[in-house]
A and B are shown apart, each in its own frame.
Chain A
Amino acid sequence: MENKGAAGGLLGIVPGLALMVGTFLFANWAEEALKPVDFLGYKQFFSRVLNLNYIIISIVMGVLYRNVIFRGTIPAFLADGFRTTRLFIKTGVIMLGSIYTLGGLAKLGFQAAFLISVFVFGSVVLVMWLGKRLNMDRSLIGVMCAACGVCGVSAAVATSPGVKAKPAEVALAIATILGFGVLTMFISPYLGNLFHFSDYQYGVWVGTGILNSGQVLAACLAFNPLVAPGTAVAYGELWNVMRVIIIPFVVFVITVWYWSGNKDDVEAQNVSLWQILKSKFPIFVLGFVGMTVLSSLGLLGQEGSETSHLLRTLMQWIFGIGMVGLGAYIDFGEIKAAGGKPLIVGLTAGTIKYVLALIMVLTIIPKSAPF
C-alpha cells in the first residue's frame, strides 16, 4: 500500500470495497427477483431472453457507477477500493486451479498452449504490419502489439518500459482494447447460444478470441455462471492462464523488435529474455498450479463433496465482487478519446482474432471435452 502505512492503506480500501460487495449482493438478489418476471410477451424475459445473471448485473452496475453516477471519475474515497479489482480476479483464478487435476491440465494444457501461441504471435505480427502501414510510432505499435496479442492491461503495462512508451500511449492502447473487449464481452454469450456451443467450445473460443483476462472471465461466467469442472469458465480460464504465461515471451519479442529499429538505444539492447522472465513472469499462475496440485492430491475435498461446493461458492463470490470493479474500469469517455489510428489497429486486430477463433471452434473443436 502506498505511503499511508498498512493500516491507512487497509482503511482506504474499505469504502470502495464495501460498495463492490454491496453491489454484488444486490446483483444476486436482482437475478433471483427478475427470474420469474415475464415481459413483452416473453416468459422469464430477463433470465431466458436477456440471459441476465449476477455477473452481467454486477458488470453493468459497475459501468453505471463510473459513467453515469460518478460521471467518468471514481471519487477519490472509493478509488482504492475499486483498485482491488485485479486482486479479486487473480485470487479467483488461483482458486480456480482447484477444479483441475494435473492430468486434465496436461491434456488440455498442450492444446491450449499451441492454439494460444499461434493466435498471440499472429496478432503481434498483424499489429506490427498494420501499425507500420499507418505510420504509427514504434513505441505505440509495441504496446498495441502486447495489448492485442496477449491480454490488454497487464501486457501493455509490462511492455511499456521496454519500448519506452509514454503513459498516454499505454492508456490509449488499454482504452482501445478494453472498448473492443466490452463489445465482445456482451455479445459472446448470445453468439455462443446462437451457435449452440458446448461449454468446452465456448471456453476455447472466448479464451482465444477475447483480448482481456477479466473480460474472458466475464464472458465465460455470463454464458454459464457455474464454477465447476466442465463449465465454460473452467475451459476459458485454462486458455487465459496459458496466455498470461506467455506475457514475458511476448514482452521479449516486442522489446527485441523495438530496439532492432532503435540501434542507438543501448539500455534496451541489453535486455535479455532471462531478465524479462525474472521481472515479468506472472507468479500468481504458480498459485493456480499449486491449487491444481493440492486438488490432484485430494487435499481440497472430493469432487462433489460439500467442501468443494463451499469452495466454489466462495470463488463465485470473489469473481462477482471483481466483476463490479471490472465494470467500473470501463470508461466510455476514454474509449471515445482513444480514436484514430490505435482504434483502427485495435478494432482490426481484435475483430480478426475474434472471428478466426470462432471459425476455428466451428471447424476443429469438438463439442465434448476431455474433462
Chain B
Amino acid sequence: MSQAAAKSGKLTVFKTDRHEDFGAICFAVLVAASVMIYMAFFLDKVTIKAPADGKLVEMKVAMGDTIKEGQPLYTYETVKKKFVEGKLEESKATETFKSKTPGKVLELKKKPGDAFKKGNGLLVVEHVKGTLP
C-alpha cells in the first residue's frame, strides 16, 4: 500500500470495493460500447489485418470487387503448432480467410508470394455502415 492509501486504509479511489466493482463494469461497458459504435457507424474503410505470420498464396478478390460476409478473401500459408502426445509439432498449413463483413475492395496491400507478419494490413475494404467489420 502507498502511504496515502495506508493512511486512509483504502486501495481504491472509490468509497468502497463495491463502488469500484460498479465503476469497473461501467468503464468496461463504456469501452465496449464505444468500440461497437465506432466500428459500426464511424468507420469509412476497414484494413483487414493478417491473423498470423505467413505467406500469401492467393488473393481471391480483385480491386473494385463487391464482397459478401463469409466470402473467401485470400489463402495463406502459415506454420501451425499442435501438441501431439505431449510434444509440440510444427507443420505448414494453408488457410483461407473469409470476410467478416460485406463491402467493396478498395486496395490490395500484398500480392501472392509476399510474406507478412501477424497484424500487417493485407487489404482495404469499404465499410458498410451498421455492420461490425
In the assembled complex, how far is the CB of residue B102 from the closest CB belonging to chain A, in whole angstroms?
13
Knowing A174-B1, A300-B36, A306-B100 touch, does A284 contact B25 (C-beta < 8 A)? yes
Binds B, one of A28-36, A85-93, A140-148, A343-351: A85-93
**Does B112 sit at the interface, judged by CB under 8 A?**
no
Contacting residues of chain B (1-17) with chain A, CB-CB under 8 angstroms: 1-6, 8-15, 17
| Residue among A95, A309, A328 making CB contact with B49, cutoff 8 Å | A309
**Does A130 sit at the interface, judged by CB under 8 A?**
no
In the assembled complex, how far is the CB of residue A289 from the closest CB belonging to chain B, in whole angstroms?
11
**Does A167 sit at the interface, judged by CB under 8 A?**
yes
Residue with the highest number of chain B CB atoms closer than 10 Å, among A174, A287, A328, A366? A287
Would A329 and B1 count as touching, CB distance under 8 A?
yes
Interface string of A183-199 (1 = CB under 8 A from B): 00000000000001010
Would A307 and B31 count as touching, CB distance under 8 A?
no
Would A87 and B132 count as touching, CB distance under 8 A?
no
A84 to B13 alpha-carbon distance, docked (Å): 6
| Residue among A74, A85, A300 making CB contact with B32, cutoff 8 Å | A300
Count chain B residues whose beta carbon lies closer than 8 angstroms to a beta carbon of A.
44
Nearest opposing residue in chain A for B34, CB measure: A314
* Chain A residue contacts of B132, Cβ below 8 A: 300-302, 305, 307
**Does B113 sit at the interface, judged by CB under 8 A?**
no
| Residue among A283, A294, A299 making CB contact with B25, cutoff 8 Å | A283
In the assembled complex, how far is the CB of residue A253 from the closest CB belonging to chain B, in whole angstroms?
20
**Does B133 sit at the interface, judged by CB under 8 A?**
yes
In the assembled complex, how far is the CB of residue A352 from the closest CB belonging to chain B, in whole angstroms?
26
Would B35 and A74 count as touching, CB distance under 8 A?
no
Would A311 and B32 count as touching, CB distance under 8 A?
yes
**Does A126 sit at the interface, judged by CB under 8 A?**
no
* Chain A residue contacts of B49, Cβ below 8 A: 306, 309
Would A90 and B24 count as touching, CB distance under 8 A?
yes
Knowing A282-B21, A305-B132 touch, does A87 contact B2 (C-beta < 8 A)? no
* Chain B residue contacts of A66, Cβ below 8 A: 2
Would A291 and B1 count as touching, CB distance under 8 A?
no
User: What are 29 sample pairs from A and B whose C-beta atoms fall under 8 A apart?
Assistant: A2-B8, A2-B13, A9-B13, A80-B4, A83-B10, A83-B11, A86-B11, A86-B12, A87-B24, A94-B25, A94-B28, A95-B31, A283-B22, A284-B20, A294-B32, A300-B36, A301-B36, A302-B132, A305-B101, A305-B132, A307-B100, A310-B35, A314-B35, A329-B2, A329-B11, A331-B1, A334-B1, A366-B83, A367-B88
Q: Nearest 7 A-B pairs (CB), nearest first?
A: A367-B83, A79-B4, A90-B24, A305-B100, A74-B2, A94-B28, A287-B25
A307-B36, A310-B39 are known; give 20 further A-B pairs, CB within 8 A.
A2-B10, A2-B15, A73-B2, A83-B12, A84-B13, A87-B12, A87-B14, A95-B28, A167-B9, A174-B1, A282-B21, A287-B21, A287-B24, A287-B25, A302-B132, A304-B100, A306-B39, A307-B35, A311-B31, A311-B35
